[in-house]
Structure 1
Amino acid sequence: MGIPTEAIGSIPRPAALVDALAQHAQGLIGPEELAARQAAAVADTVARLEQIGSPVLVDGEQSKPSFLTYPLEGLEGLDPAGGPEIPFADGHTRRLPALTKGPFRYRRRAETYLKEALKHTERPVKQAVIAPSALSLLYPADGIADYPPKVFFDDLVVEAEADIRGCLEAGAHVVQLDFTEGRLSLKLDPSGALLDDLIALNNRVLSRFTEAEQARIGVHTCPGGDGDSTHSADVDYADLLPKLFQLKVGNFYIQIAGEADPERSLRLIADHLRPGSRVFIGVTDPIDPVVETPETVRDRVLAAARHIPVELLGTCDDCGFAPFADDISTTRETAFAKIEARVRGTALASEMLGV
C-alpha cells in the first residue's frame, strides 16, 4: 500500500468561482448561480486529484466561505467585527465574529460538502471540520445576557459532535479537525492555560466517540496560512506538541516542511507520539511559491522515517492552500503541482523504504 498521503483541505478556487463570489457579494448574481459554480469547482477539483493519483480525495473546500466559518452561514446573533483579531506576520489581520445571543447552532454541517464530493468519485474522501475549540472563541469575554458560558459550551459540544458524526456516517474516509488556533493560543497566552482549555474542550467532544471512531478522526496543526503569511510560526513546537498528542484521535497532521528546523520538530514528534497513532508529516509548503520536486518530497519523507516508525508515518501538505475563499496568493495550478509532487515523492520514498 505504501505510506499514506492526504491533502489538508483547501485548494485555491478557480477564477470563475472567485469572480462569482465577488459578484454574489455585490448582489450581481443570485445564490443559484453561485451554487452552480461551486458545484462545478468541486467536480473539477475531485477529477484533477484523481488524475494526479491522489489515493484520498478532498473537495478543496470550494463551497466553504472559509475553513472556520462554514457553520455560521445565515446564523442570527453574530457581530461580524466583534470577535478577536488575528494578526499575521505580514501585517494583515482576520477578525472572528462574536456571538451576541443564544442558542448556538450550526447552520450548515460539513457532511453536506462531503456528500457533494462523493457524487464525483468512488475513491476515499476525507472531510475537514472546524475544531470546537476554534468556535469557542466566538463567545465574548463579557458574556451574553440569558446565555451563560456553561450553556454555550454544552450547546457547542453537541453541535460539534453532530458535525463530526454526520461526516463519519456519510462515509468519510477520515474526519480532520482543523486546530490552527492551538499554536496561536500559546502566542496569546504563553502560560499554556488557554491551550489546556482548548485541548480539554476538544477532548470533551472526542470522548463521545468510540475508539474505532476515534481512529477515523484526526487533528491538523499549523501556524496559520493565509495570504502567504502565518500567525504563530514563532511559537516553539516544544510547547505545543506534548499537549497536542493528548487529543483523543488516531491521526495527527503536522506542518513540518515550512519549519525553520524540521529535524528538531521530528525529534519532538518522535518523543511524544502515542503508540498506535499515525502522524502525517507536512512535506510541501503552500506558502513557498517554489514547487517541490518529487525528489525533494522523497528526501523529506526519508528524513521523517529516521525518527518515526514507517508504520506510523504518513504525509500531507503543511496547511490548506486557500483556507479563506478570498485568498488568491497561491494559484490553483501551483497547488495541484505541489500535491502531485507530494503524491509522487511519497511513492518514491515508499519504494525505497520497502513499504
Structure 2
Amino acid sequence: MAHDTDGLLTTHIGSLPRPPELRELLKQRDAGEDVDPDEWERAVVDATEAVIERQADVGLDVINNGEQPRVSFNWYVANRLSGIGGSREAPLWDDLQDYPEYAETEFKTDAIDLRSQPAVVDQVEYVGRDDAEQEVETFFDLLDETGVDYEDTFITAASPGIAATSLTNEHYDSHREFVFALADALREEYELVADTGATLQLDAPELLASGHRGPQDKSLDTLKGIIRLHVDALNEAVSDIPADQLRLHTCWGSYEGPHHRDVELVDVLPELYDLDVGGISIEQANPRHQHEYRAFAEHPLPDGWDLLPGVVDVKTNVIEHPETVADRLERVADAVGDPTRVVAAPDCGFDTQAGLAMVDPEIAWAKLESLVDGAELASDRLF
C-alpha cells in the first residue's frame, strides 16, 4: 500500500454512489432479464469514468472504480460462481429481531432484496473471470484516459467468509468445507486483481458481524472459532499474494440498525491479527464503536500493518466537521503510536448494496471532502 511520511493519506472503502440508470440495469441483470450489452457497457464506462474523476476532484489519494458494475460488495459473487440455484430466506440479524417492525422495511432495495440469499446446490467453481477482467480493464483504461492524479489504486473482492455467510449452503457437509471451497474458487479472482499491481481489498465484515448474525450459538468462544476458521480460509486463498499488497475491511454490518448486540472489538482484535495482510479497515465513526480506538493501544498493530480507521459515518446524512474528523484521526494515531501507519477512510462503503445507500449521493461526496480536509488538519498536528 502507498505510504506518506509527510501526512495522512486518504482513501475510501469500495462502493460509491451509482447513477440511477446503472442501478436500473443492475436490477434487471440481477433478476435474470436480458440487458442490451452495448447499453450495459456504456452505462458502466460512463459511471466508472465519473466516479474516478469525482474521487480526484475530492482529493482522495487511494482510489478505485467505486464498484460500479456490481450489484453489491458481496452478492456479486453469486454471478461469478457455479453451483448456484434459486434463493432462500436469509436469517435476520439478532439486533433486528429485537425490533421486527423496523427490520421489515430496512433491507429491501430497488435492485436487490436482502431478505433472501442465493443457494449453493452444487460444487462451486469460479466462472467469473471474463467479468472480473472486464471490470479491472475498464478501470485502468479509464484511469489512463482521464489522467487524474492519485497515489495508489485498490480493487475490492468479497472474502471467502462473507461469501459463505451471504450464500445458503445446501451442498457441502459442513461450514468448514464450504468456506474452504469458496476460498479455493475465489483465489482466481484475488490473484487476477493482484496481477494488476493494485492493492487488493478483501471485504470481510462477517469477522465482526458474525457475533450478531445467523442461528449459531453467540458465545464469544464460538465467535472466535468462526473468526479463526474464516481467517485460515482467507490466508490460504491469498497465500501467493504479498501481504503488503493486501488490505482487509471488516465491520459490524453497514446498516442503520440498533447494533446493541455487536461484539466488543477489544475481545476479538487479537484473532484478526492472524490475517496475512498489510492493513485493516475498521469502523471508528459508528456511534456504537467510537470508543474502541483504545483497543489498538491495548493490542498494538502487528509489524508492517497499517490501520484504516473509519472517521466519517456512512449511515447518516450529517456531514462531519473537518475538526471532528481530525480529532478522530489524532486519537487513533495516538493509540497506534505512529501516524505514518494511519490512513483516513470512511467506516464502510457508501453504496454497498445498489439502491440501499443511506446517505444522499451528493452528501456522500461532501463527507469525503470533509474526510480529506480533516486529514489535512490532523496531518498538520501529527507530522
Q: TM bucket by the smaller chain?
A: 0.7 to 0.9
Query: Which amino acid in structure 2 is aligned with residue 297 of structure 1?
Result: V
Cα offsets for 1:53-82 (capped at 9, x unmatched) = 111111111110111122322655323423
Contact in 2 for aligned 1:252/1:277 (Cα 8 Å): yes
Partner of 2:374: 345
**How far apart are residue 291 of structure 1 and its match?**
0.9
What CA distance in whole angstroms lies between the structure 2 residues aligned with 1:220 and 1:56? Answer: 15
Partner of 2:99: none
Structure 2 residue aligned with 1:206, among 229, 238, 241? Answer: 238
**How far apart are residue 148 of structure 1 and its match?**
8.4
Contact in 2 for aligned 1:98/1:139 (Cα 8 Å): yes
**How far apart are residue 222 of structure 1 and its match?**
1.0
**How far apart are residue 50 of structure 1 and its match?**
0.8
Identity %: 27
What CA distance in whole angstroms lies between the structure 2 residues aligned with 1:26 and 1:98? Answer: 16
Contact in 2 for aligned 1:225/1:321 (Cα 8 Å): no
State whether structure 2 residue 189 is matched by structure 1 residue 163. Answer: yes
What's the secondary structure of 2:303's corresponding residue? coil
What CA distance in whole angstroms lies between the structure 2 residues aligned with 1:23 and 1:235? Answer: 37
**How far apart are residue 154 of structure 1 and its match?**
5.4
Taking structure 1 as reference, are residues 343 and 150 closer, same or farther at Cα in structure 2, changes over 3 Å only? closer
Taking structure 1 as reference, are residues 299 and 233 closer, same or farther at Cα in structure 2, changes over 3 Å only? farther
In structure 1, runs of 5+ residues without a counterpart are: none
Taking structure 1 as reference, are residues 48 and 236 closer, same or farther at Cα in structure 2, changes over 3 Å only? same
What CA distance in whole angstroms lies between the structure 1 residues aligned with 2:294 and 2:328? Answer: 14
Taking structure 1 as reference, are residues 12 and 231 closer, same or farther at Cα in structure 2, changes over 3 Å only? farther
Partner of 2:111: none
Deviating above 6 A after TM superposition, structure 1's stretches of 4 or more consecutive aligned residues are 147-151, 230-233
**How far apart are residue 277 of structure 1 and its match?**
0.8
What's the secondary structure of 1:121's corresponding residue? helix
Quick check: 121-130 or 134-143, which moved more? 134-143
Partner of 1:17: 22
In structure 2, runs of 5+ residues without a counterpart are: 97-101, 108-113, 145-149
Contact in 2 for aligned 1:199/1:244 (Cα 8 Å): yes
RMSD: 2.7
Taking structure 1 as reference, are residues 271 and 208 closer, same or farther at Cα in structure 2, changes over 3 Å only? farther
Partner of 2:280: 252
Cα offsets for 1:292-337 (capped at 9, x unmatched) = 1222211211121221121221111100111111214322111111
Partner of 2:358: 329
Contact in 2 for aligned 1:294/1:344 (Cα 8 Å): yes
Taking structure 1 as reference, are residues 64 and 142 closer, same or farther at Cα in structure 2, changes over 3 Å only? closer
Cα offsets for 1:257-311 (capped at 9, x unmatched) = 1143523x11112322212211111100010210112222112111212211212
Q: Under a length normalisation based on structure 2, what TM-score does the superposition of the two structures give? A: 0.81
- Structure 1 segment 184-263 matched on structure 2, within 5 A: 184-187=209-212, 188=214, 189-190=218-219, 191-192=222-223, 193-209=225-241, 213-226=242-255, 228-229=256-257, 234-263=262-291
**How far apart are residue 130 of structure 1 and its match?**
0.4
What CA distance in whole angstroms lies between the structure 2 residues aligned with 1:231 and 1:38? Answer: 34
State whether structure 2 residue 110 is matched by structure 1 residue 65. Answer: no
Query: Which amino acid in structure 2 is aligned with residue 311 of structure 1?
Result: T
Partner of 1:121: 143
Taking structure 1 as reference, are residues 231 and 61 closer, same or farther at Cα in structure 2, changes over 3 Å only? farther
**How far apart are residue 158 of structure 1 and its match?**
3.0
State whether structure 2 residue 27 is matched by structure 1 residue 56. Answer: no
What's the secondary structure of 2:343's corresponding residue? strand
State whether structure 2 residue 42 is matched by structure 1 residue 36. Answer: yes
Contact in 2 for aligned 1:143/1:149 (Cα 8 Å): no
Partner of 2:347: 318
Taking structure 1 as reference, are residues 328 and 279 closer, same or farther at Cα in structure 2, changes over 3 Å only? closer
**How far apart are residue 149 of structure 1 and its match?**
7.5
Q: Under a length normalisation based on structure 1, what TM-score does the superposition of the two structures give? A: 0.87
Structure 2 residue aligned with 1:274, among 293, 302, 314? Answer: 302
Partner of 1:182: 207
What CA distance in whole angstroms lies between the structure 2 residues aligned with 1:10 and 1:232? Answer: 25
Structure 2 residue aligned with 1:101, among 119, 122, 132? Answer: 122
Cα offsets for 1:186-236 (capped at 9, x unmatched) = 224332222221122112223333xxx11110110111114x447686222
Structure 2 residue aligned with 1:296, among 295, 320, 324? Answer: 324
Partner of 1:47: 53
What CA distance in whole angstroms lies between the structure 1 residues aligned with 2:72 and 2:271? Answer: 26
